[in-house]
Structure 1
Amino acid sequence: MATAASRHHDRRISPVFLGIVAVMAVSGWAVWTGYAASPGVAVFLFVTAAWVVSLCLHEYAHARTALHSGDITVGAKGYLTLNPLKYTHALLSVVLPVIFVIMGGIGLPGGAVFIERGRIRSRWRNSLISAAGPLTNVLFAVVCTAPFWLDGLDGVPEDFRDALAFLALLQVSAAVLNFLPVPGLDGYGIIEPWLSHAARRQVEPFAPFGLLAVFGLLWIPEINQEFFRLIYAVLDVLGVSDVAAATGRALYQFWPDLTLTPQG
């Protein structure tokens, strides 16, 4: 049985996460003050670090909700420490999402923490566990866009404003993709508990390929265009113009442009 000391250790915030937060804070300060010699490098570090922080919070939300729903094993697995290296698939949870941001400005959903679903007490709680992650991206997007929809941009440096706009684009795109009812994504995890056993068995073999299928579809220009039209429409509701988001992306990608490009 876990002792109070071990439970405290299992939930202590990881130095790795604190280091990422420190990079986000210092680079954010550099963007705000214009201290960096190259604003693109500062924006790159700020947005990348903030994006990884959001990925950690996404996975933490899954784990924390699971803990309160009956899976007491998530603490021992290190999921409550916010350490990205503790995820079941660190490559899928952190590395690939960062690569996708670098390649084309898409907030790719991360991998997943391993939840022992047999310990969860109800279908509603199972659905809530899956929803908790993308809801974190929604909250992050609301926070990033608060200066825009609160008309609080007076005194905010342009580079910082545009970096926030691009970060908001990543959060909105991650939330939209994650809510898709595609096997392997959180959207499917929300509806899966309500499907029949036979339906779940039929879908199960396709789960490892769901994310790859979504990625492949986004390479189709027509689908890519409609997807980003939706993302920009959501950003517009939040007060963020497509010009600000595109400018932030251009600052972030201070190297020659790559192939997967958002199209409005």
Structure 2
Amino acid sequence: MTTALTRRDRRISPVFLGIVAVMAVSGWAVWTEFSGSTGFAVFLFVTSAWIVSLCLHEYAHARTALHSGDISVQAKGYLTLNPLKYTHALLSIVLPVLFVIMGGIGLPGGAVFIERGRIEGRWKHSLISAAGPLTNVLFAVVCTAPFWLDALDGVPDPFRYALGFLALLQVTAAILNFLPVPGLDGYGVIEPWLSYRIRRQVEPLAPFGLLLIFAVLWIPEVGGLFFDAVDAVLRGLGVDDWRTGREYYQFWEGEPETGAPVSP
């Protein structure tokens, strides 16, 4: 019975496989420019790929917690990659997708619920928190690989632009998640090393960390500096046309012409 339960709780969810299928089909549509609206295909491809990365982000937290001693993540369904199993589906999936649609930023979501009392050792706690954003870093490396490997020959422009925009989401998500703000993974990395008194004082601020990030980025000067920094990172990886990818993604505002210059 225990073996059967373990296999069931680790089996990849049909929901996740369905999202991957949407990503694959829409990616093919972008590559071949099959649909009448390339922008809509880019929208489906980037959105589904973004959700896949969010699922992998949460899976990385859960998988690391499992190997660190919290076997409860199995029964919670976190190892199935099913986004509907997350404790904070609204924070983990819905809000990050809405922020991408609204402004094109990879805002970090809420984490899976880890029973920290089952885990011993500060390094393990830090690694569990770091595992999620490290997944975004890995995703960004994969998305930008054709650029820094100079392997773009034969890649259609719309697909290249879509990859650039998807890379932007991963880089922003990684940077924001690693900020040492209560409620985000960056704070989770350093929290085990703080004194009990400081942790108790900071704990009430955790639910508002995400809102704080959003409010600060809403300030034009701060948001501009942040995107300049992200743009510098992407340019270092060979990506210089993520803005055109965002224009394709927001197809309801009108699609840019393929090969059009990147907007400032």
* TM-score category (smaller protein): over 0.9
Q: Which residue of 2 aligns with 1:260?
A: none
Instruction: Indicate the residue corresponding to 2:172 in structure 1.
Output: 173
C-alpha distance in structure 2 between counterparts of 1:237 and 1:71, whole Å: 39
- Out of 243, 252, 255, the position equivalent to 2:252 is 255
1:19 is matched with 18
1:256 CA displacement: 3.2
TM-score, normalised via structure 2 length: 0.96
Instruction: State how 1:19-38 maps to structure 2 within 5 Å.
Output: 19-38=18-37
Aligned partners of 1:235, 1:99: CA distance in 2, in Å? 23
Equivalent residue letter for 2:16: F
Q: Can you list the C-alpha shifts for 1:124-181, whole angstroms capped at 9, x where unaligned?
A: 0000000000000000000000000000000000000000000000000000000000
Look up the match of 2:114: 115
Between the aligned partners of 1:233 and 1:134, the Cα distance in structure 2 is 19
Runs of 4+ residues over 2 Å off in structure 1: none
The one-letter amino acid of 1:210's match is G
Alignment of 1:119-134 (within 5 A): 119-134=118-133
TM-score (norm: length of structure 1): 0.96
Identity of matched residues, %: 77
- How far apart, in 1, do the equivalents of 2:134 and 2:229 lie? 18
Q: CA RMSD in A?
A: 1.1
Matched pairs, number: 256
CA distance in 1, matches of 2:110, 2:20: 21
Structure 1: gaps spanning 5 or more residues: 258-262
In 2, the alpha carbon distance for the partners of 1:200 and 1:17 equals 36
Residue 118 of structure 1, CA deviation: 0.7
C-alpha distance in 2 between matches for 1:68 and 1:180? 25
SS of 1:255's partner is helix
| Equivalent residue number for residue 87 of structure 1 | 86
Structure 1 distance, partners of 2:235, 2:133, is: 20
Instruction: Quote the offset at 1:226 in angstroms.
Output: 0.4
1:237, distance to aligned residue in structure 2 (A): 1.2
Deviations 1:202-234 (A, max 9, x none): 000100001100000111000000000110011
Partner in structure 2 of residue 145 of structure 1: 144
Q: Report how far residue 121 of structure 1 moved.
A: 1.6
